[in-house]
Amino acid sequence: MATTAEPAAQVSESAFREDVRAFIQSNFPPELKGTSNALASVESGAGESEPQRQWREAMGSRGWGTPTWPAEYGGGGLSRREAAILQEELAKAGAYNPIQGMGVMMFGPTLLEYGSEAQKKEHIPPICRGEIRWCQGYSEPNAGSDLANLQTSAVDKGDHYLVNGQKTWTSGGQWADKCFCLVRTDRADKHKGISFLLIDMDAPGVEVRPIRMISGMSPFCETFFTDVKVPKANLVGEEGQGWTIGKRLLQHERTNLSGGNAMGRLGGPTLGELAKMYRETDEHGQLADRVLRDRIADFEIRWAAFLLTARKAAEESKAQGGVSEISSVLKKAGTKLGQERAELSIEIMGLQGLGWEGEGFTAAELAGVRTWLFGKATTIYGGSTEIQNNIIAKRVLGMLDHQ
Amino acid sequence: MAVLNDEQAMLRDMAREWAANESPFTAWRALRDAETGAGFDADAWQAMSGMGWAGIMVPEEHGGSDFGWMSAGLVVEELGKVLAASPIIGVTIAAWAIAQGDSDEAKARHLPALASGETIAALAVDEGPRHAPGKIGAKVENGKLTGSKGFVADAAEAGIFIVAATDGLWLVEKGEGVSVAGRVLADRRSHGEVVFDAAPATRLGDAAMAEQMLDRARILTACEMLGMAQHLFDTTLDYLKQRVQFNQVLATFQALQHRMADLFAEIASMRAAVEGGLEALDSRRRVPQAACIAKARANDVLNLMSREAIQLHGGIGMTDEYPVGDYLKRARVLENRWGSSAFLRDRFAGLAGY
C-alpha cells in the first residue's frame, strides 16, 4: 500500500467525521442506498446509471475511493484512522465505495511502489477517479501455476517493444482499457528474463476472445498479441525486474482474494436459515433431518472459526507492522469453505437449487447455481490451493525443496 | 497468537519458561512411572500456586489476582504443551463458581485456600461416560446431596467438589457422605467415581449457572488441547526435518509438505476459535456459542493432529519411550470431557435456532 501522506492541515477527528458526513449528505444519491454497483461497473460490461456516475465522480474528485493513496496522484491522502472513519460513515449511510477493480486492488499499489514519476502521474489519477479498467496479463496456456514459464515475447525495437504471444484467463479483458502484463525480454533466464509492461487494449494487434465457463458466464478471456507496438515508456521498473514486481502484485491479489473481501460477498441467509426455508422442522422448530442439521452445524462452526482467524490475522499484522504468518492460510481455507457452503446449499435445496434459467425458480435460486459453479475457480485462481500449500510449507514451515 | 497486553505476555512467558525448565515432559513421565496413582505432583502444584496460577480467577479480596480468562487460558495452554499434570482447570473453574455463587461463607472459607494451592477442587457433573448435563440425577434434600458422579478428574486429591444436581450447583466438602473409587484411564491421570450419600452441601447457584460453568470448562479445556496440538505439530515438523529416507530429509517430500500445510491451517483455525472463546469470556459476549466453537474445533483438530503425529512419526511414534502416544491418550480423554463434537454441534445448532 502507498505511503500515507500527511493531511494538509491538522484536522481533528470529529471535524473530519463532520466533513465526511456533509460530503455524503450532499453527494450520495439516496436511491443508491443499500446497493453496490462497485464490482458490476468496473469488472463487467454493465453500464452505469446516472446516479451511479455522479457518485463515482464525487468520490473520485476527493480521492476517497483510494483514501490512503497520496493526494499528489489523486488519492485521498488520508491517514489510516481517517480512512477508517470514512469507511464507518459510508457504512452508516448505506453507501458503497464506487472506485474498485484491479487498478485499485493490485496494479495501483504496485505502480506506486515501482513506477517512475511519469508513470505514476499518468496512470494513478484515472484509477483514483474510477475512469479506467485494468486487466491482468499473467497466465498463459503453458504458464499457469508455473507462471515463470511464460513465453509472450517483447523484442526491443529501439523506441518500442514488439509484443507477440497469448495470455489467458484475462479477467474482464473484453471490457478493459489497459493491461498490466508479464512478458519475456530474455529467453536465457527463466526469472530474470521477465519484464513488466503496460499495454493498451485498443492497440493494433490486440485481440480478445471471451471464454465461456461452466457457469455460463464469460468473465475471462484469451488475449492474443500479434506484432503489438508498445512504447518503451510503458516498461515498469527495469528490464528483467518483472518477476519481482509481478510477485509483489500477487501479494496484493492474495490479500484481496482471501479473508474478508472475497468472502464478504457471501451474504444472504446462514445455512441454518436456508435449511429452515426448504426443509421440514420438528415440534421444536429444529430441522427434522438430524444428519443434515449436524453437518450444517459442523460447517457453521468451521466458518465461524475462519472468520475469527481472518480477524486475528488482521490484528496481528497491524500489531506486528508486517504480514502475520497465519495470513498464508486464509486464501486456501476461505475458498475451501466457500465451496463447501455452495455444495451444502444445493444439497439443502435439492433440484430446486439447480435451476439454470426460466420459470419455476427464484432469482436467488438461479444466482446460487451460478455462484456454485463460478466458485470452483476460487481454489484455482490467484495461486491454486496446491501452490498455497507449497508456499506455506516452504516459506512458513521451512520445509525444503526436493533435492 | 492473540495480541496480548504486557501483563498477559509476561504471564505467558513465565509459564512457558517454567514449563520448559521445571515441568518438561520427563517430569510427567517420572510421575506416571512412579505408579503412586497420584494425578499430579503436589510440589509442582505448590510451585504453580506460588506463581499465582491457582488464583487467576479468584478475586483480589480473597487472595487471588483476578487476571481474567485470557490469562488463565495462556497458562493452561503452556502447561498443555509439556503435558504438565495439574488440577488447574478444576481449581480455576471452581474458583469462578464459588466467587459467582450465593454463599459468602463459601467464598471466605474456600477461595483463599484455592488461590494458595492448599485446597484442590474437582468438578462433578456427568454421571456416566458421556457428557450429558441434561441427564443429571443427583438430588439435594434438606441440604444433603445424594447421587454418583463418573470419571471425576482429580477426585482422589480434591478437598471440595463442585457438584451439578437437578436444581443447580452445589459445593460439597470431602468427608461425611463422600466416597471415591479410582478409575484408571488411558491418560494415566487421576479420575474417580464419586458417590455422595446425603453429603452436606452448600448451594452455589441455579441450573443456568451450571450451564455457564460448563461453557467456561469447555473453553479452558480447549486451551489445554490447543497447547497439546501445537506441541504435536511442532514436534512432528522437527521430526520431518531430521528423518532421512531415500537420501532425503522427509520434509522435502511434497506429499508430506501438503499434509503439514493442511495441519498448519487447521491449527490456525483451532487457535483462533480457542482464543475467541477466551475473549468472549472476558467480554461476556455470546459465550455459549463461543464455547461450542472453541471446544468443537479443539476436539476435531486435536483428534486429527494426534493421529497424524503418530502416522508421520512412523514406528517410533508407536513406542512408549516417545512422547507422542501420551498426547494421543490424553487427547481422547479431553475430547470426551464437557462435550464431544457431536454434542457441541447439537448445542450450537439449537442456540442458532435450527
Average pLDDT score over residue span A253-269: 55
E-strand ranges in A45-133 read none
- Assign A134 to helix, strand or coil: strand
pLDDT at B1: 61
Q: Domain for residue A247, yes or no?
A: no
Q: Which of A294, A386, A398 sits opposite B345 (nearest CB)?
A: A294
What 3 state SS string does A165-230 have?
EEEEEEECCCCCCEEEEEEECCCCCCCCCEEEEEEECCCCCEEEEEECCCCCCCCEEEEEEEEEEE
* pLDDT tens for each residue of B72-107: 999 999 999 999 999 999 999 999 999 999 999 999
Instruction: Give chain A positions within 8 Å (CB) of B261.
Output: 332, 388-390, 392-393, 397
**CB of B111 within 8 A of CB of B64?**
yes
Q: Do B353 and A285 touch (CB under 8 A)?
A: yes
Q: Which of A212, A241, A270 is the last residue of a domain?
A: A241
Name the CATH superfamily, with its identifier, for domain B210-352: Butyryl-CoA Dehydrogenase, subunit A, domain 3 (1.20.140.10)
End-to-end CA distance of chain B: 33
Question: What does the angle CA A19 – CA A23 – CA A29 come to, to the nearest 5 degrees?
Answer: 160
ipTM: 0.95
**CB of B328 within 8 A of CB of B81?**
no
| In chain B, domain spans | 6-116, 121-205, 210-352
pLDDT at A7: 47
E-strand ranges in A55-176 read 134-137, 153-156, 160-171
State whether A202 and A80 are in the same domain.
Answer: no
Residues in chain A whose Cβ is within 8 Å of chain B = 270, 272-273, 275-276, 285-287, 293-294, 296-298, 300-302, 304-306, 308-309, 311-312, 315-316, 319, 326, 329, 332-333, 386, 388-390, 392-394, 396-403
Query: What is the rounded distance in angstroms from the CA atom of residue B276 to the CA atom of residue B93?
Result: 18
Query: What is the rounded distance in angstroms from the CA atom of residue A336 to the CA atom of residue A302?
Result: 11
Residue A78 is part of a domain; what is its CATH number?
A: 1.10.540.10
Residue A272 is part of a domain; what is its CATH number?
A: 1.20.140.10
Reported as a pLDDT band with limits 50, 70 and 90, residue A251 is confident
The three cell numbers of residue B225 are 488441547
Domain residue limits at A84:
13-128
Q: Which residue among the candidates A88, A253, A347, A357 is catalytic per the annotation?
A: A253
* pLDDT tens for each residue of A208-226: 999 999 988 888 999 999 9
* pLDDT tens for each residue of A341-360: 999 999 999 999 999 999 99
Average pLDDT score over residue span A196-204: 97
pLDDT at A271 over 70: yes
The amino acid at B168: G
Lowest mean pLDDT among A398-402, B41-45, B133-137, B256-260: A398-402
pLDDT at B313 over 50: yes
Q: Do A315 and B3 touch (CB under 8 A)?
A: yes
Class of domain B6-116: mainly alpha
Domain count across chain A: 3
Topology annotation, domain B121-205: Butyryl-CoA Dehydrogenase, subunit A; domain 2 (2.40.110)
pLDDT at A3 over 50: no
pLDDT at B60 over 60: yes
* DSSP state at residue B155: T
pLDDT at A328: 84
Percentage of chain B surpassing pLDDT 90? 97
Mean pLDDT of chain B: 96
End-to-end CA distance of chain A: 37
pLDDT at B347 over 90: yes
Q: Is A253 a catalytic residue?
A: yes
